Every structure is written in structure tokens, then in C-alpha cells.
Amino acid sequence: MARPREFDEATVLDAAVECFWSRGYEATSIRDLIDKTGLTGASLYNAFGDKRAFYRRALDHYVAGSIGERIRRCEAMKPREAIEAFLAEIVKRSLEDKDRKGCMLVNTALDVAPHDPVFRESVASVLLRIETFFLSSVRQGQADGSISSSQAADELARHLLGVLMGVRVLARVRPERALIEGVVRPALALLAPEGTKFGGSVAGVVDSS
């Protein structure tokens, strides 16, 4: 009969996320993971497999607790507010990222996915989920008049996804408020219905979120 695990899986995955996120996949060693999680080597392998398998579990845990949770919170808002809140949180997190860790998903897209078809598929799936959130919000906003119909909904959704990815990459090397907000502000302006314009500031949206 198998012995019950003597550790909390979520806590271990939190520690693994921090380790992989701060060091990157390649630079993280099994020794680093053992030290960070407090597990023995045998316990780590038995519970999560090798480093690649452990990274997949950690990435899934990160996505569920960060991106997935953000989408769920924003989906409960009005369409335009949902998009503004989503991007506002990204701006806030990017500017407050003192260690310049960026987004673990984006880091994976740049560092791991190009060389690993499984991770490439995983990242693509999450990006599609984000694009679908944007698309649903835009369609609802165009239907109720809160979002401009001058652009096709699918094109706006793809543009918003590109803005998101661009902000996350830029913030790794130039986490400057003027730069980051300058990327997001025109995207928000595109959402403004005909006859109106985006009259707020990205900082104001962040402060109110």
C-alpha cells in the first residue's frame, strides 16, 4: 500500500514556480529544486518525475493561479471594463517586477517552446485561451455599444494579445512607465465607441483596479 505524501503539493509547486521563474528552465538544477522545495531527490522524482516533467507541472500551476484566475475575475466584469482591468493588471505587475522576471508563460514561449513541441503546444493553448477571452469581451462590447465596431472583433482580439505579449517582453529590459503605458493606451483607445475617445489614463485604470 502506497504511503500518503508528507507534503502539500500546492506549496511545493509554488516553490518550484519561484525557482524556475527566477532562474529559467535551463539554469535551474535538480539541486536548486531540492533546496527550494525541501523535498529529497527521491521524493521529488517519485511525485513529479524528471526536471522537464516538474517544469510542466509548475507551468500549469502558474497558469491556473495567475492567468486563469485573472481571466475568471475579469469575465465577471462588463466587457470593456474586463479588457481594461486585464491590461491594467499586466501594466501594474510589469512595473512592479523589481527582479524583471517577466511572465513565466512568455519566458517559456521564448526560451523553451522553440525547442520542445510539447511546450510549444502548451503555450499556444494558453495564448489561445487569452485571445478567446479578448474576443468574447470585444464581441459582447460591440453588441452592447461599449466597444467600437470599426474593427473586426477577431482582429481587435489579436491586437490585444500582441499588446499583452509586447508589454511583457519590453518590461524585462525597459520597465519604464511611459513606455509601457504608451503601448497600452492606443490599444484602449481603439476600443472607444464611434464618436467618443479614450479619455482616461492607463495609470488611472490601474489605480482603480
> What fold is seen in the domain 62-208?
Tetracycline Repressor; domain 2 (1.10.357)
Burial class (CB in 10 A: 0-12, 13-18, 19+), 173: exposed
How does DSSP classify residue 136?
A: H
CA atoms within 13 A on the CB side of 121: 3
27/22 Cα distance (integer angstroms): 10
pLDDT digits (tens, 9 = 90+) for 164-205: 999 999 999 999 999 999 999 999 999 999 766 654 556 555
Q: What is the per-residue pLDDT for 209?
A: 37
- The alpha carbon of residue 143 and the mean position of all alpha carbons in its chain are separated, in whole angstroms, by 27
Q: What are phi and psi of 140, to 5 degrees?
A: -65, -40
Domain ranges of the chain: 62-208
pLDDT digits (tens, 9 = 90+) for 102-158: 999 999 999 999 999 999 999 999 999 999 999 999 999 999 999 999 999 999 999
Q: What is the per-residue pLDDT for 110?
A: 93
Angle at 139 between CA 73 and CA 197, to 5 degrees: 90
DSSP of 8-71, one letter per residue? -HHHHHHHHHHHHHHH-TTT--HHHHHHHH---HHHHHHHH-SHHHHHHHHHHHHHIIIIIHHH
Instruction: Supply the mean pLDDT for the chain.
Output: 91
pLDDT digits (tens, 9 = 90+) for 15-51: 999 999 999 999 999 999 999 999 999 999 999 999 9
pTM score, two decimals? 0.88
